[in-house]
Amino acid sequence: MGDTEPLVIYHLNDPAIQPSNNSNNTNSSVNNNNNNVTSNIPITTSTPENTFYTMDQVKKHNKATDLWMVIQSNVYDLTPFFDQHPGGSIILEGAGKDSTYLFEDIGHSDDAYDMLDQYLIGKLLQSPNIRDSF
């Protein structure tokens, strides 16, 4: 995995949803040779649900023009929201960080929680605690 590339998890056991070499791989069809049936199942592309970022990657997006944040293990790209934040530029306190506590401690409204969805780009890739392996 490159330093700035997300890790995308595909469902490798399902032949119908393998990533293809097709440059435009949305809405492609798959000829499933296992049972001679041509299906029209769309090939899976990266979505926020199968895209993972490390905290090191998140940390690099730490300014108003490139503003990522982790809240409850979700990674958000809030760059387009910076100018719209009702609380103003204080949002930068959470830039490039795990801001779960900061976001919740303000007592944001349910509306604020709902707004998060549209900025979701992935999940936080958390490594297991090394002490657990002993």
Interface with ligand HEM by CB under 6 A: which residues? 78, 81, 85-87, 90-91, 93-94, 99, 102-103, 106, 108-109, 111-112, 115-116
CB 120 within 8 A of CB 74: yes
Query: Which residue lies nearer to ligand HEM by CB, 32 or 113?
Result: 113
CB 16 within 8 A of CB 39: yes
Q: How far is the CB of 112 from ligand HEM (least distance, A)?
A: 4
DSSP-assigned beta bridge partners for residue 63: 66
**CB atoms closer than 10 angstroms to residue 110:** 7
Query: Which residue lies nearer to ligand HEM by CB, 69 or 125?
Result: 69
User: Which residue's C-beta sits nearest to ligand HEM?
Assistant: 87
Query: Which residue lies nearer to ligand HEM by CB, 30 or 120?
Result: 120
**CB atoms closer than 10 angstroms to residue 67:** 22
DSSP-assigned beta bridge partners for residue 52: 7, 123
Q: How far is the CB of 89 from ligand HEM (least distance, A)?
A: 10
Q: How far is the CB of 96 from ligand HEM (least distance, A)?
A: 11
Q: How far is the CB of 63 from ligand HEM (least distance, A)?
A: 14
Residue 89 has which token pair? 């530029």
**Chain centroid to CA 57: how far?**
11
Query: Which residue lies nearer to ligand HEM by CB, 53 or 103?
Result: 103
